[in-house]
Structure 1
Amino acid sequence: MLSEEEALILKTAEKIGTMVGRDYWLRCAREKKSPDMLWGELLKTNLTSAGVERVSGTGLLEAALVQEGLARAGLPVLQFLTTHLSRTVIAKYGTGQQFERFVRPTCEQGKKISFCITESEAGSNTWRIRTFAKKRDGGYILNGQKTFITGARESDYLLIVARTKRYEEVEDKKDGISLFVVEANNSGISFEALNIELYSPETQYTVYFDGVELSDENLIGEVDRGVNYLFDCLNVERILIAACSIGLGEYVLRRAVEYAKQRVVFDKPIGSYQGLQFRMARAKAHLEAARSLNYNAARLFDGGGKVGAEANMAKLVASEAGLEAFEIAMQTFGGNAYDLDTDIITFYPVIRLFITAPVTNELVLSYIGRHVLGLPKSY
């Protein structure tokens, strides 16, 4: 399934995650500190450049392997995901100057990018976003807000999805959306931490844009045509989410298997009882199926193919497989699973998150029904 070089990337990422450790990750979460040691190790091994062809000669598959490998060590590093999604957009549709300014530093200095698309009122209906960039001489003035933005305050750059024509002014709802990339410390940008517990040091924020001055150099591609770039690269996000789901599922399932081998009830290891063993076996099969789907989607993307169907199916199957693995881990550990020190229940928020975000599985199913099966629109 993987070449020797690809397998080495997966193994190296998992080794780094294991060395840094789940305890360090949780300590950073409790102390509200950035996991700088992790990013330092990724930088030393050049894994920060995984997936950036112009720098490392690698593609999306290699980035997905880094994401999966870290998750297999119990580290759901969502800022790697948002950084790679964002820099894929810039590298593919931005200028050479934008690449040097915003992408290369993520590879060679470990800089991070947050992806700013979600708004509280619009939700999944991206067409209805209200963040607006008004044209002025030499650039734009940006006003609005985004929410559920991972690591925004800790990031160096922000990739922002905004309207440059209001929804009410366009005949085609896809018209009038533009993409901008900007330094996160620009004047007029502020952050409010959300009260969300993912047992992760990567805080979720609402980001406010109050008269932020943007130059034409901050615009990615053509004005009003951002949708053409956005939805191509959102498939990258689905594939990376799938990779994280698979890795986390592997981690909690491995913990469950280890416990089931040594925990004795009624004079036998509980792993010998079919009620647990068969569920663990089924979870493993589903994780492997999801992995095959995801690697295929990543390779298709790297080959220049259209991956909407494959990326959505991989995200669907992987998120469900990860949750299935978590649930059998909970059942295997029994009452101990609810003890925070056992560190099983702590995986629920992030594993369950991937059923809902960055796109709900209901919308994924709708996409498959309409665009793969050719059925009528379901909403």
Structure 2
Amino acid sequence: MDFSESSEHTDLRAAVASIVSPFGGKYYAEHAKNREPCQEVWLALGEAGFVGVNIDEEYGGGGGGMLDLALVCEESAAQGVPLLLILVSAAISAEVIGEFGTDQQKSTWLPGLADGTSKVVFAITEPDAGSNTHRITTTATRDGDDWVLTGSKYYISGVDEADALLVVARTGRDEKGRSLMSLFIVPTEAPGLERTPINMDVMLPEKQFTLFFDDVRLGADSLVGAENKGFQQVFHGLNPERITGAALCIGIAKYALAQAARYASEREVWGVPIGTHQGLSHPLAQASMETELAALMMRKAAWLHDNGLPAGEASNTAKYAAAEAAVSAIDAAIQTHGGNGLTSEYGLLPYWGLARLLKIAPVSREMILNYIAQHSLGLPRSY
């Protein structure tokens, strides 16, 4: 086992930090409060080749793996600008299109995903299905050479920033009556596609949407991969989503802890820095250890994925541990700041909102516990 970081990854971190740090926490907090995308950071990272670091060089990407993308995700968050859409555009959509897309689909979509000028977001969840993907009711039916898409999706991130959606739809049933799924690339301006923003109290730059597909007509070239194999294909993107989700949480935690440590070292009460007191230093130290433990599991999950090995258990564990660590870190950081932790000046609340969201999405902690109970411990399926 080699736990040292390669010189290439050290350089990658430094390069990402040099791009993102000039924007920093105040930039993110302002954009989160105003519900405005952090497009300037996305484009700057894209121009440098980091948003598409996991995409094949043939299409303008960096030719790297999931660990490279996870480090980009982690470091940008650690510099104060977490980019939620990396999880869906770079980790899911780029991975799925790169693995299962036709040559035309790859040449059409991957270059823009690689340089940051385009985003493709992921649409799977539905109002009545939740985590039960088998209950998806959005259907795609054949009409000659075309497909007609009908149904709705719920809690779809970043539709207003994207050029297209990667949609999971039911295209048939097997001999036992279970749904068969397929994947489709759907332009966000397709006739018949309507979107309604979901009003969110949490402060995020990325908006959430409900989507309605009213007989959206798609050409035959919109199908990604094999018909009725979408459920299997989408799992190629779900582990990367969990890995980058973990990386995002780890970066958020590192940012919050850095802010808290600085404040605790400078703020004096009764003549000494407040960090002198164990009541404040110990929660920060504990959160730091939890973050490092999650980071180890995230790297293991990314390594397994990059080497073509089963990564489901590690990816889910990493996402669970990192989300828990991020919420603990930000809560400790807010407590360290006292009343200042709730002010706009210090800008911590937007990070708490994102970390708290990531305990629910893209997969809830409860569903991860179900997965580990069944697949790791061999317990009976509970759902």
TM-score range, shorter chain: over 0.9
Aligned-pair distance for 1:135?
A: 1.2
Give secondary structure in 2 for the equivalent of 1:68.
helix
1:246-325 pair list within 5 angstroms? 246-325=250-329
Give % identity.
36
Judge which range, 184-193 or 101-110, deviates more. Answer: 101-110
TM-score by length of 2: 0.94
- Residues 1:112 and 2:119 are matched in the alignment: yes
1:187 aligns with 2:191: yes
Per the TM alignment, residue 36 of structure 1 is displaced from its structure 2 partner at its CA by 2.8
Give the match for residue 207 of structure 1.
Answer: 211
Give the secondary-structure state (helix, strand or coil) at the position aligned to 1:147. Answer: strand
Aligned to 1:26: 29
Matched, 1:225 2:250: no
CA–CA separation in structure 1 for the residues paired with 2:115 and 2:358 = 29
* Cross-structure match for 1:160: 167
Matched, 1:47 2:50: yes
State the aligned residue count: 376
Deviation at 1:268, TM superposition (A): 2.0
Query: SS state of the match for residue 153, structure 1?
Result: helix
For the 8 Å contact 1:48–1:110, the answer to whether it is kept is no
Unpaired runs of 5+ residues, structure 2, are none
RMSD over equivalenced CA pairs, Å: 1.6
Q: TM-score, normalised by structure 1?
A: 0.95
After the TM superposition, which of the residue ranges 70-79 and 242-251 deviates more from structure 2? 70-79
Query: Corresponding residue for 1:126?
Result: 133
Unaligned runs of 5+ in 1: none
- The answer to whether the 8 Å contact 1:67/1:80 transfers is yes
Q: CA deviation at 1:275?
A: 1.5
Distance in 2 (CA, whole Å) between partners of 1:330 and 1:34 is 24
SS in 1 for 2:147: strand
Give the residue type in structure 1 aligned to 2:48: T
Q: Deviations over 1:353-374 (max 9, x none)?
A: 1111111111101111110111
Equivalent pair of 2:166/2:184 in contact (CA under 8 Å): yes
Q: Tell me how far apart the structure 2 counterparts of residues 357 and 137 of structure 1 sit (CA, whole Å).
A: 37
CA distance in 2, matches of 1:5, 1:341: 36
1:178 and 1:219 in contact (8 A); partners too: yes
Contact 2:95 2:236 in 1 (8 A): no
In the alignment, structure 1 residue 76 sits paired with structure 2 residue 82: yes
Whole-Å Cα distance in 2 between the matches of residues 366 and 109 of structure 1?
36
Distance 1:109 1:276 in 2: 41
Contact 2:146/2:218 (CA < 8 Å) preserved in 1? yes
Compute the displacement of 1:30 (Å).
Answer: 4.4
Match runs of 1:341-356 below 5 Å: 341-356=345-360
Q: SS where residue 144 of structure 1 aligns? A: strand
Deviation at 1:5, TM superposition (A): 1.0
SS in 2 for 1:208: strand
Note if contact 1:250-1:287 (Cα within 8 Å) is conserved in structure 2.
Answer: yes
Deviation at 1:24, TM superposition (A): 2.8
Rounded to whole Å, the distance in 2 between the matches of 1:249 and 1:119 is 30
Provide the residue aligned with 1:13 in structure 2: 16
* In the alignment, structure 1 residue 65 sits paired with structure 2 residue 68: no
- How far has the Cα of 1:16 moved from its partner? 1.9
Q: Is the 8 A contact 1:93 1:221 kept in 2?
A: yes
Please state whether the residue corresponding to 2:162 is helix, strand or coil: coil
The residue number in structure 2 matching 1:37 is 40
> Secondary structure in 2 aligned to 1:340?
coil
Matched to 2:117, the amino acid is G
Distance 1:28 1:335 in 2: 22
The residue number in structure 1 matching 2:94 is 87
Contact 2:29 2:347 in 1 (8 A): no
Alpha-carbon distance in structure 2 between the residues aligned to 1:191 and 1:282:
43
Instruction: Specify the alignment match of 2:103 in structure 1.
Output: 96
In 2, Cα distance between equivalents of 1:34 and 1:327: 25
- Offset at residue 172 of structure 1 (A): 5.6
Q: Distance in 2 between matches of 1:227 and 1:192?
A: 26
TM-superposed CA distance for 1:97, in Å, is 1.3
Amino acid at match of 2:16: A
Which amino acid is 1:370 matched to? Q
Q: The residue matched to 1:205 in structure 2 has which SS?
A: strand
Would the alpha carbon gap of residues 32 and 357 (structure 1) be closer, same or farther in structure 2, given more than 3 Å must change?
closer
For 1:3, give the aligned amino acid.
S
Residue 329 of structure 1 deviates from its aligned partner by: 0.7
CA drift of 1:201 comes to 2.2
Alpha carbons of 1:316 and 1:223: their partners in 2 closer, same or farther (altered >3 Å)?
same
Residue equivalent to 2:176: 171
Change (3 A) 1:191 1:170: farther
